[in-house]
C-alpha cells in the first residue's frame, strides 16, 4: 500500500512533465539551448522538427495517393519528376546546411544581428539559384523525362506536371531555406507552422484540381503540381511575414536588406560542399530509377509508392537529426564541444528506437500499406518488396542520419560529401545493377542495394564522427 501511494503520484508527475514539454515544444520554447539538460533540449527542438518533417512528407504522400487513382503512367510521372526534383532538393538542402550552421553558430555566440545578416544573404542566394533552374527546367521538361527512359505514354501524361514543378522550384528552395534559418536559430515551431499552412492548402486543392471537384477544372496529374506549388507558396509567404514580424530569435529589419559579399561568400563556401554532398546522394536515386525503368512501369510505380511511404517514416527522423545539428552549431558557438557531442549520441539513440519501431511495422503491414495507394497486383508486389527489404536497415539509418547532420551542423560539410560519394556512387549503384541484372534478382536487387548502402553509411559516418575533428571547424 505504501508503494502504491509513492508510485502513483510519481507517475502522475512524469505524465504532467511530458505534457508540459510537449505543449512548450509546439507553442515554441524560449529556452537557451546552450545550457540546461541536453535530453530536454533535444526533445524541445525535435518535436516541432519531427512534425515539420512529417508535414513535408505529406506533400509527397498526398500527391501520390490521389495520382495513383489515375493509373500507373501518372504514378510513374510523379516518381520520375521527383527524381529530377531530387537535384533541386539537393541544392535547397545544401544551401540550408550553410544557413542553419551559420545562424546556429551566431545564435550560440549571442549575436542576433549577424544571424539576421546571414539569413538575408541565404535567402538572396536561394532566389539567385532558383530563377535560372526554373527557366531551364520548364523548357526542358519533355527532354528530361525522355532521358530518364520514360515511355511515350508517361511523357504525354506528365510533361505539364514536370514543367510546373520545375518552373516553380523557387517555392521549394525558399521553404527549405527559411525553415533551416528558423531551425538554426532554435525557432523550430515557426518552421513547423509554415508547413502546416502549406499542407492544409495542398490537402484541400489536390483532389479538387486533379478530379475537377466543384468549380475547379479537372487537370489530372497536372492538378497535383498546381496544388503543391500553391501550398508551398503560402508557406513561404508566412515565413517571410514571420521574419519581418520580429517575435523570433532572428528578426530581419530594413537595415539588413542589402547584399554583403563577405557573408555571402562564407555561406557559399559552407553551402557548396553541402550541395555537392546532397547532390551525390540524391542523384544516386536517378541512377536507381534508370535501372528500375528496365523492368517496366509497374516496377517504377511500386518503387515510387514504396519509397514515398519510407520517406514518410524517415523524414520525421530528420527532425531528430536537425535537432542534433542545431545543438551542435549552438554549442560550438558557445565554446562547449563536449555538449555538442553528447547531444548527438542522445539524439541518435532516440532516433534508433523510433526507426526500429517503424521498421517492425513495415515488415508486418507492408502489403496493406501499399494497397492504400493501389490494388494493381504487380504494383503491390513491387511496393511491398521495397518496403520490407529497405526497412531491415532502419536501426542503422538512425545513427547515419544523425551523425551526418551533426557534421553539417558544425559546418563540416566536406566529410559527409566523401562518405556519400563512396556509399552511393562507388558502392550502391554498381551493387544495384549487379544484383538486379547480373544475379537476376530484378527490382528486389535494387531494394537490397539501398538497404546495404545506407547501413554502410551509418557505420562509416559514426566511426569518423568519434574522431572529433569536426569540433575544430570554423564557420
- Please write the tens of the pLDDT for every residue from 50-85: 777 777 666 667 777 888 888 877 888 787 888 788
Structure confidence at residue 389 (pLDDT):
93
Structure confidence at residue 308 (pLDDT):
80
C-beta atoms surrounding 138 within 10 Å:
16
C-alpha cell at 131: 530563377
Expressed as residue numbers, the domain containing 67 is: 35-472
**Contact status, residue 471 vs residue 332, Cβ threshold 8 Å:** yes
Cα–Cα distance, 106 to 329 (Å, whole number): 9
Residue 19 domain flag: no
Residue 28 domain flag: no
C-alpha cell at 117: 545578416
Cα–Cα distance, 459 to 465 (Å, whole number): 10
Rank 144-153, 415-424, 465-474 by mean pLDDT and report only the highest.
415-424
What percent of the chain has a predicted confidence (pLDDT) above 90?
A: 28
Q: What are the φ/ψ torsions at residue 349 (nearest 5 degrees)?
A: -65, -45
Cα–Cα distance, 355 to 316 (Å, whole number): 9
**Contact status, residue 322 vs residue 337, Cβ threshold 8 Å:** no
**Contact status, residue 475 vs residue 267, Cβ threshold 8 Å:** no
Buried b / exposed e along 90-119 (16+ C-beta atoms within 10 A): bbbbbbbbbbbbbbbbbbbbeebebbbbbb
Section 112-118 average pLDDT: 88
- Please write the tens of the pLDDT for every residue from 216-230: 899 888 888 899 999
C-beta atoms surrounding 318 within 10 Å:
23
Using pLDDT thresholds of 50, 70 and 90, give the confidence band for residue 1.
very low
C-beta atoms surrounding 58 within 10 Å:
19
C-beta atoms surrounding 188 within 10 Å:
29
Is residue 20 predicted with pLDDT exceeding 70?
Answer: no
Residue 22 domain flag: no
CA distances from 381 to 246, 307, 370, 393 (A): 52, 14, 9, 20
Helix ranges restricted to H, 392-442: 394-409, 414-420, 429-433
Residue 15 domain flag: no
C-alpha cell at 290: 534508370
Least confident of 156-160, 350-354, 385-389: 156-160
Residues in the chain: 475
C-beta atoms surrounding 325 within 10 Å:
32
- What is the sign, positive or negative, of the torsion defined by CA atoms of 447, 453, 455, 458? negative
**Which string of DSSP letters, residue by residue, matches 448-473?**
HHHHHHHHHHHHHHHHHHHH-GGGG-
The residue among 282, 295, 293 whose CA lies nearest residue 150 is 293
Residue 124 domain flag: yes
Residue 357 domain flag: yes
The residue among 398, 414, 391 whose CA lies nearest residue 462 is 398
**Contact status, residue 105 vs residue 118, Cβ threshold 8 Å:** no
Cα–Cα distance, 120 to 447 (Å, whole number): 41
Residue 235 domain flag: yes
Residue 262 domain flag: yes
C-beta atoms surrounding 425 within 10 Å:
16
- Please write the tens of the pLDDT for every residue from 34-47: 887 888 888 888 88
Structure confidence at residue 14 (pLDDT):
43
Cα–Cα distance, 233 to 227 (Å, whole number): 10
Section 185-194 average pLDDT: 87
3-state secondary structure of 247: coil
**Contact status, residue 369 vs residue 362, Cβ threshold 8 Å:** yes
Contacts of 166 (CB under 8 A, 6+ apart): 81, 84, 85, 88, 133, 134, 137, 138, 141, 144
Average pLDDT, the chain: 85
Is residue 410 predicted with pLDDT exceeding 70?
Answer: yes
Looking at residue 248, the DSSP 8-state letter turns out to be: S
Structure confidence at residue 21 (pLDDT):
67
Q: How many domains does the chain have?
A: 1
Cα–Cα distance, 168 to 130 (Å, whole number): 8
Section 421-441 average pLDDT: 91
Using pLDDT thresholds of 50, 70 and 90, give the confidence band for residue 17.
low
C-alpha cell at 101: 550552421
Cα–Cα distance, 265 to 468 (Å, whole number): 26
Cα–Cα distance, 109 to 111 (Å, whole number): 5
- Please write the tens of the pLDDT for every residue from 86-107: 778 878 888 888 888 889 988 8
Amino acid at each position: 500500500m505504501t508503494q502504491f501511494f509513492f508510485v502513483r503520484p510519481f507517475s502522475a508527475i512524469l505524465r504532467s512533465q511530458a505534457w508540459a514539454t510537449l505543449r512548450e515544444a509546439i507553442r515554441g520554447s524560449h529556452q537557451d539551448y546552450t545550457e540546461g539538460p541536453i535530453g530536454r533540449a533535444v526533445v524541445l527542438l525535435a518535436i516541432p522538427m519531427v512534425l515539420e518533417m512529417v508535414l513535408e512528407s505529406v506533400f509527397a504522400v498526398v500527391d501520390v495517393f490521389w495520382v495513383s487513382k489515375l493509373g500507373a503512367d501518372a504514378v510513374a510521372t510523379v516518381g520520375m519528376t521527383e527524381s529530377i526534383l531530387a537535384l533541386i532538393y539537393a541544392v535547397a538542402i545544401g544551401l540550408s546546411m550553410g544557413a542553419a550552421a551559420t545562424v546556429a553558430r551566431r545564435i550560440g555566440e549571442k549575436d542576433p544581428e549577424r544571424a539576421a545578416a546571414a539569413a538575408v544573404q541565404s535567402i538572396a542566394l536561394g532566389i539567385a539559384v532558383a530563377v535560372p533552374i526554373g527557366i531551364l527546367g520548364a523548357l526542358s521538361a519533355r527532354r528530361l523525362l525522355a532521358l530518364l527512359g520514360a515511355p511515350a505514354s508517361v511523357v504525354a501524361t506528365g510533361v505539364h506536371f514536370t514543367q510546373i514543378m520545375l518552373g516553380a522550384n523557387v517555392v521549394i528552395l525558399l521553404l527549405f531555406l527559411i525553415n533551416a534559418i528558423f531551425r538554426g536559430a532554435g525557432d523550430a515551431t515557426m518552421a513547423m507552422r509554415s508547413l502546416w499552412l502549406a499542407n492544409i492548402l495542398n490537402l484541400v486543392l489536390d483532389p479538387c484540381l486533379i478530379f475537377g471537384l466543384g468549380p475547379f477544372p479537372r487537370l489530372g496529374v497536372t492538378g497535383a503540381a498546381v496544388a503543391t506549388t500553391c501550398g508551398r507558396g503560402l508557406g513561404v509567404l508566412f515565413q517571410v511575414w514571420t521574419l519581418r514580424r520580429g517575435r523570433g530569435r532572428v528578426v530581419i529589419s530594413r537595415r539588413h536588406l542589402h547584399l554583403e559579399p563577405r557573408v555571402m561568400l562564407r555561406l557559399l563556401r559552407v553551402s557548396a560542399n553541402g550541395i555537392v554532398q546532397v547532390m551525390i546522394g540524391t542523384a544516386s536515386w536517378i541512377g536507381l530509377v534508370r535501372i528500375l525503368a528496365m523492368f517496366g512501369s509497374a516496377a517504377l510505380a511500386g518503387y515510387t509508392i514504396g519509397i514515398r511511404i519510407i520517406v514518410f517514416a524517415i523524414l520525421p527522423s530528420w527532425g531528430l537529426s536537425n535537432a542534433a545539428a542545431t545543438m551542435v552549431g549552438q554549442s560550438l558557438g558557445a565554446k562547449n564541444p563536449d555538449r555538442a557531442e553528447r547531444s548527438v549520441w542522445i539524439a541518435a539513440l532516440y532516433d534508433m528506437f523510433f526507426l526500429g519501431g517503424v521498421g517492425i511495422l513495415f515488415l508486418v503491414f507492408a502489403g496493406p500499406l501499399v494497397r492504400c495507394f493501389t490494388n494493381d497486383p504487380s504494383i503491390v508486389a513491387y511496393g511491398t518488396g521495397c518496403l520490407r527489404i529497405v526497412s531491415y536497415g532502419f536501426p542503422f539509418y538512425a545513427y547515419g542520419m544523425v551523425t551526418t547532420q551533426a557534421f553539417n551542423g558544425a559546418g563540416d560539410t566536406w566529410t559527409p560529401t566523401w562518405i556519400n560519394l563512396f556509399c552511393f556512387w562507388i558502392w550502391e549503384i554498381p551493387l544495384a545493377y549487379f544484383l538486379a541484372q547480373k544475379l537476376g534478382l530484378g527490382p528486389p536487387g535494387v531494394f537490397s542495394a539501398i538497404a546495404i548502402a545506407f547501413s554502410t553509411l551509418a557505420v562509416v559516418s559514426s566511426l569518423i564522427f568519434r574522431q572529433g575533428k569536426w569540433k575544430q571547424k570554423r564557420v
